Each structure stands twice: as C-alpha cells, then as structure tokens.
Structure 1
Amino acid sequence: MQFAEDLEHTRLVVSHRYDAARITPAPEFDEIVQLARAVCDAPVAAINFVDEEHEWIQAVAGLPEDCIDDPTGICARVLPPGDVVVVRDVAADARFRSFLQTHPDSSIRFYAAASLLAPDGGHVGTLCILDHQPRDLTAKQKSLLKALARRVINELELRRSLEAERQALREAEKLLADKDQLLAQNKMLMQEVDHRVKNSLQLVSSLLMLQARRLGNSEAGNALEEAHRRIASVAAAHDQLYRASGSDRVDMSVFIDGICGALAVHRPGNIDGIEVRADPVVLGSKRAMKTGMLVAELVMNGLKHAYPDGRRGSIRVELKTEGPIARLSVSDDGVGLPSDFIFEGGKGLGMRLVRSIVDQFEGKVSVDPGPGARFVVEIPKDIESSGRA
C-alpha cells in the first residue's frame, strides 16, 4: 500500500497523461459511481483523481450536499497497488487515525477502493466505496468494482484519444492554411515574374524596332526587323498566357484570340485583319504556350509574305477539336507558297521553329495547295498526361 506522501508518481501520471485537472463533470463518470454504489450495496461511491498539487473528487453518488464527510480525506490515504483494498473498520485502522482526529464527527466506518491504473501501470486515483458501518465486500463485488475502475480508465483513454485527434485536426488545418498561404505567395511571385518577363520582352522588341528603322531597308535592318517580330510574337503569347491562365489549364479559344488580337495591332495597312475561329480546347500551360508561339509564327509568316505589293486580304486562324486531336490551321488568300516550297526542307528560321514545336508535340504538319497558303497542324490533346511537354 502507498500512503499520501508517496503519491508523486501517481500525480505525474494523471497530470501529464490525462490532463485531469481540466476534466469537467461528465455523465459518464456519474454513471460509473452510481453503478459502483449499486453493485456494492453502499451508500456512497466516488471517483477520486490526483494531480501534481492536490486530490479531488471527480464524481460522487450518495453524499448529501450538507454532509460533513469529505471523501477526499480518506481516498487520499490509501492507493492500492492494483487490487481492491478493503478497510473493514476505519476506526480500527492506524492509517486513518489522523483523519479521524481531524474529522471526529465523521460517520464513515467502511472503505473499499479499486485503483485506477493507467496502461503504463501508473496510479491515477481510486474508485472508492464508503459506508457508515463496518462491513466487507464479496468476491463478486470486488470483481465488479475492478471492472468499473477499468471503465474509468477506458473513458480517460477515450478522452485522451479524442483530444489527440482534435489536436491532429488542428495541426492539419494549420498546415492547410500554411499551404494556402504559400500557394498564394507563389502565385503572386509568379505573376510578378510573368509581368517582368513580359515587360522585358516588350522593351527588347521596341529597341530592335527602333534600330531597324534607323538602318532602313538594308540587310541588317531587315534582320533586326525579323528579330523584332519574333520577340514580339513571344511577348504576345506570354502576355496572353498570363492573362488567360488562372490555373495550369488554358482555354485555347480565349488564348489564341488574345494572341491574334495583339499581333493584329501591328499588322501592315493592307491586311484587313486576323479572323479567329477556335473551339474551347483546353490544354496545359506548357502546351498552350508552345501552341501560342506556333500560331504567332504562322500568322507573322502570313502577314509578311501573303500579300506583297499592297495587295489586300486577311489571315484566318481556326482551331477545331476532333476526338483526341486538336487541328490548328492558319490560312490566307494571298499569292501562295513558292512552287519549290518543301516544308520539311525549309531552311528559314520561321519554318525551323515551326518544325521544332510540332516535333515536341509529336504532331503532324500538312501544307495544302492554293489558292493562298494553308498550314494545318495536328496536336494530340492528351500528350501532357503522358509526361511529355
């Protein structure tokens, strides 16, 4: 048996394992003491907890509010080492001499208690039975009292598990909130990077155009103007991707319309416009960017070569979905392609760029005969799901 001065281990167990001081009155504990009182045929039953500083009654049954008896005074004196402790006559037991001297009017004469043992073996407190006359417990009553003590521990363990689950949920919610904050910061950073890239491309394009104008219609001037157009096309595609992409999936009807609108602003005066008819095909952002560059390159090729010597006309861009294929066509009604034109063998920078992008798509390109010129590109829509760009 342990006396009150040996309770340190008990107090540490209940304090740190169950945080018992914060447990509020609960019907589960009230039910247990009522059952203990009934099975032991005793007037009073109580659940006694201890923490690092004091002992207290968590639940009690059969003790009138105006009763002078204090069960904690008895429960604090005996902590059984695992079995049921029975004190048949409190008045005849030396362990309670100081209690009786302090409480000379106490009517308690019988005490029995089952230890509340945590799974690691530490004492948490007692489930005790009190009576006003000396007596004993039967073997069956002792067994039932121990079973009820285990139910107290099960309730404490359940509360501990629920609190751990609630804590895990709180931590998960915090992690999700932190994740959302990081995603928002990342999105803001990406937008800032996109904005700076777009401005840088536009600045380089403008500088090239100014230099080309200074050089006039010379080989160097024409080369700078060509470089200007290509950078302008990349800037237009990048700008429209920035505007159209709220996620990693891009509606190509909006994207292509924006690119062609940006290119149409700087079209030659004899070009009436760029007509766009695009189905709402959805592609990933990487695929969308490359498709945009492809559109820009083919449209610029038409703006430059389709209508020479002031001829009037327009450029048409269409995007149709046909099962797993997105079919892109860029056409005009201009002078058409040279009779010796071979797409696969074209050495111009524009055609080499188109071939490079189509190869990345693992797509196909066909060039339809006149009048005018018509490039048709077949793009597998689901290629990104296989991990290819």
Structure 2
Amino acid sequence: MQSAPLHPNEDQRLQSLLRLEVLDTEDERAFDELTELASTICGTSISLISLVDSDRQWFKSRVGLGAKETPRSLAFCAHAILQDEVFEVPDALQDSRFVDNPLVTQEPDIRFYAGAPLKAEDGMPLGTLCVIDQQPKQLSAEQRRALEVLSRQVISQLTLRLHTRKLERINRERDRFFAMISHDLRSPFNNILGFTKIMSQRADSLKPAQIVEFSKDILSGAMRVYQLLDELLQWSKQRLGGVACDLQRHNAVDLIDSTLPLVEDAAKLKSIEIKRDTDTDVYVTADATLAKTVIRNLLSNAIKYSDKGSCITLQAVNVGDVVELSVADTGAGISEELASRLFDGCVESIAGTEGESGSGLGLSLCQGFAQMQQGAMRYDASYTEGSRFIFSLPAA
C-alpha cells in the first residue's frame, strides 16, 4: 500500500481548509443533495464530500457509507488532491498503490474510485467530491464532466456557508453592540442634560466653584458620548469595508505625539500623567490614521481604568523586525478569564474607576486595525503593575 505524499503547500492548504469552519459540523441538506446527485449520475453505490485534514479524511456528506472519517494514510482522496483533474482508479485490485489497502481488502471493499478535487479560491485543494463502487468500472467523458461541475458547486456551497456564518456573527455582534450603545449613552446624556438644566435655571445663584465643577461633569459626559459614538463609527466602517489602508513609512514618535492631544482633556480630568518613553529614530510601516486610532483607543482605555493622580507609560521600541508600541497603566489589571476573551469581538464593558462606560468593542477594533497594517495586538499577561497592551507594527 502506498500512502499519498503531503501536498507541496500543505501548511497553506490546511489553513485554507480551516478558514472554511466546516470540519466536524452537522450534516446539511445542500451538501447531501450534491452527493446524491453525483452517485446517481455516476452510477455508484457510494458518494462522498471528503475533506482531507492533517491526519484524516472527514466526510461532510456521505451516501452509502456509515463512517464519518477514515485515516488519511488510507485515503484515496489524499492521492486525488495532488491532481488537477479527476483522479480515477478503475480497479483497485489491479493498482499497486491500493491493492492491499484495508479499504479495499475490507469494508467498504472499494474497487472503483473517482474523485474531483475541491479547490478553494486560492487554488488549494481541500478534498474531493468522490464516487466509489464495489465493482470495477470507468466513468464516461460526460460523467467526469458532471463530477467536475458538481465539485465546483460543492465549493460554492462551502463558500456560501462560510459567508452566511460570518454574517450571522456580525448580526449578533451588531444587535449586542447597539443594545450596549443605547444603554451606555443614556447615562452620560442624562448627566449632561441634568447639569446644563441646573446651570441654566440657577446661573445667577451658583458659585464659581460650583460652575467649574458642573462644567467638568458636562465635559466628562460629553467625552464619554464622543468615545461611544466614535467606536460606533469605527465599527460600522470596518464592517462595511469602508476603512482603507495606506501603508507608509512613519516616525513612531510623530504618530504618538499627534495622538496625545486627543486624550489630554480626559487625562487632566483625572490628573493622570502620560509619560512617553521612546527614542526619536523609531520608524514603522503603517497607515497613519489607523495607527493613531489604535494608540488613542489604548490610551483612552488606560485613562478609563486608572485611578486619579496615577501615571500611564507609553513606549515604542524596536524588537527585531517589528516595533512594539506599548501602553501601560497602574490600574487594577485584568482577570485571566477576561484576558482570554479581550479580542473576541464585542465583550462586556467594565465601568472605569470614575464610572466611565464603554462599548466593549475598542480592543476588537484595535486588533482589526493592527492586522490591516500587517501588525498585531496582544495583552501582556506578564505585566503585574496594572495592564499593558502591546501594538506591534513592521519596522521601516
């Protein structure tokens, strides 16, 4: 028995397969109908949609076979994915590669096999639509053509299935997001309306110190509203594909310094000092707008979860072929359980040290914007003095 060698681009092939999010899912009628049609057209007792995983072939749909998977080392389909066209074995007992294969010598007693590769959009073969019989035979030209056409329909269904799943996730995230936004907007708006009403009705009797205090509260509420609406706009643009990425060479210090004024008011309200600790000759390949958006979001979070009078440290250092921009605070830190979910879309927002609200989307947006710039985002679990987030970009 000859097991098939690995595909020349095996890692890329497996990545393409995993991106479909289909392995080990339930049977679905759309796929079962295609295997039934393949079996009928080719006149075989067995038809399978077989996806070749790292060490197994798993069947998304099967007609005439009870098993849900078999070892890759025995798989005819592992040979088929190495071909560009239909791979056909007229009589396995007459083929040295398969004559002693347990799938031939034992149940299901394969004699005939024909498999059309299932190719992803990037050209990687993921598996096959195959037909199998217990009697030797050979497909006609029309049957081979039909099997190829049906294999493309399988890929179309897999792609449609993935897009549908993504859309469902986006819709769930959207519904949750808008529910959180509507809830979180009420509190700062009520504060703004309440304080402005008091000031308008009692302006003549209020002391200067009271006016200053009310003004600070109004500013704080307005800034919270602005942050929530800004995250809503960023989320909408990202989901609708309206965010462009223009990668250029930028000085990291320039990106940081042009961002700091946007968070100064929030920091002053809590008497928080922001220290920038970086060399002046650190350069990155980035989109200036997206990079500054990420930095601003990280700083806003750090301010939100820092105590009054504390300090936030912002650094930019070269680490090999990347530059790591980090924002560290001295707040309460993040639990291990929450840290594991920080970048999983919309997570529940935790109130800041002064009761500041949020959408729970900021870090997910930051991660998406980082990846658009060929960068990355991570939480530094080894930092014990508070929270530290690291935004890495390619060094220029």
TM range (shorter): 0.3 to 0.5
By relative contact order (CA 8 Å, sep 6+), the higher-ranking structure is: 2
Which structure: greater helix fraction? 1
| TM-score, L = length of structure 2 | 0.45
| TM-score, L = length of structure 1 | 0.46
Decide which structure has the larger Cα Rg and report it: 1
